[in-house]
Amino acid sequence: MDNWIWSHHTASHAFDTIILIIYNHQGPCMQLTKCLFSLLGRLIQSSPSFGIRKSMSKPKLQLLFLFSIFIVFLCFFQGKSSPLELEDDSWLDEEEDAVNMVESHQSSRRRCELSAGKWVYDQSYPLYDSTCPYLSTAVTCQKNGRPDSDYEKWRWKPNSCSIPRFDALKFLGKMRRKRIMLVGDSIMRNQWESLVCLVQGVVPTGRKRVTYNGPSMAFHAMDFETSVEFSWAPLLVELNQGADKKRILHLDLIEENAKYWRGVDVLVFDSAHWWTHSDKSSSWDYYMEGQSLYTNMNPMVAYQKGLTTWAKWIDLNLDPRKTRVIFRSMSPRHNRQNGWRCYNQKQPLAYFSHQHVPEPLIVLQTVLRNMRFPVYLQDITTMSAFRRDGHPSVYRRAMGQEERQHPRGLSSDCSHWCLPGVPDSWNEMLSALL
């Protein structure tokens, strides 16, 4: 036995085990390893008894073997950095992370940053027209007399990946026997109308309907047993009327709104605009927390308190194995110059002179990072800020010839979005995330 470095059993077992590992792991890095182990295999098998004689020096053989093992480990570590596809639904995995993924457990891995990119003019858009029967009059800008239509033909292109064109059948297939609910304010209603118009065209007339339940409404694709729902909750927390008819914003109460969110498979939230209204246009007279009543509070402090109440409800009441939660960031307004900032704008902005991160987005990110439940932050703020051309402006209602000639006397809406338009890109992103 002194004439042998390894016995037949030891050499054969080690060789077979490592070969199995190598050929189950694919990748260009493994080619060198395969060559090294092929050489080592021939050396081992060169003896009738599958041993290795002293004719090959012990140090050289051991060095070759150890070097091959080292290459295997390098290849496995390299393999863990492979990119993720957009369709991959592993965003719920606690090991995944991204710039726009805010979870309580984060790693250093980066995914495609969907919010960083540019608007690309595409003649094949829009994906539906303003005759969609589910659109509110206030967003059907073409029907209301807007003379230009290029704002309908822009699609969002991230820098390092692409968002697939919205496929209604594929979306409904993914959502078969499921409920998706968009929760928030009138801009979320804007997005809901966009999503319904994107899917309704493939559903036969007699197989679709809309139902209402309190502050919620739902579009049903009956053959897919799918519902696309909207629930009105602009502040997420409760806004009630007191005994003296004063409006009270309860920063720590949410159940009256949240009871509609139970049993939903995909929840998409937004809440920011109502929190940032000026004192003259705010929708409440008092803040209330516990038994304490406040007439004044920093809006961002109040926003943080309200979001924290929402976050606690999500953490305590939802199961991430059954429900996905997405929070859509604040839709930008182009309301400067008394709402005329967006009037007669026909092209997206080409660039920003300086990048501004809205304070509500910073507050939102902080709250989401402290949650146990994995919530995806869908950041649409920057991409939408380029699109001052996409608002209804004065075309929020049908106008007569006289009004069209003198539009400056009309109010201008630079908060909501014409449809078809910008929210369609939000929904293409949402579909890709699902």
Q: How far does the chain reach from its first CA to its final CA, in angstroms?
A: 63
Instruction: Count CA atoms closer than 13 A to 77's CA, side-chain side.
Output: 6
Annotated catalytic residue, options 379, 389, 413, 424: 413
Pairing of the two strands 101-102 and 375-378: antiparallel
User: What's 336-403 look like in SS3?
Assistant: CCCCCCCCCCCCCCCCCCCCCCCHHHHHHHHHHHCCCCCEEEECCHHHHHCCHHHCCECCCCCCCHHH
Query: Is 416 known to be catalytic?
Result: yes
What is the CA 103 to chain-centroid distance, rounded?
13
Q: Quote the crossing angle between the two packed helices 30-45 and 8-23, to the nearest 10°.
A: 160
Q: Which of 220, 415, 416, 424 is catalytic?
A: 416
384 is catalytic: no
Between CA 325 and CA 409 the distance in angstroms is 43
Nearest to 310 by CA among 370, 253, 266: 253
Q: Which tokens belong to 106?
A: 């984060």
Is 186 marked active-site?
Answer: yes
- Rounded Cα distance between 176 and 179, Å, is 8
Rounded to an integer, what is the distance from CA 274 to the centroid of its chain?
A: 22
Q: CB-based contacts of 279: which residues, under 8 Å, 6+ apart?
A: none
Report d(CA 143, CA 131) in Å as an integer. Answer: 8
Supply angle C-alpha 188, 115, 136, rounded to 5: 25
Cβ neighbours for 221, distance < 8 A, ≥ 6 positions apart: 172, 199, 200, 203, 207, 208, 227, 228
Burial class (CB in 10 A: 0-12, 13-18, 19+), 145: middle
65 CB-near residues (< 8 Å, 6+ apart): 40
Q: Residue 420: CA atoms inside 13 Å, Cβ hemisphere, count? A: 22
Active-site entry in 7, 186, 216, 282:
186
157 contacts 163 by C-beta, under 8 angstroms: yes
Task: Sort residue 209 into left (φ over 0), alpha (ψ -120 to 50) or beta.
Answer: beta
Indicate which residues carry an active-site annotation: 186, 413, 416
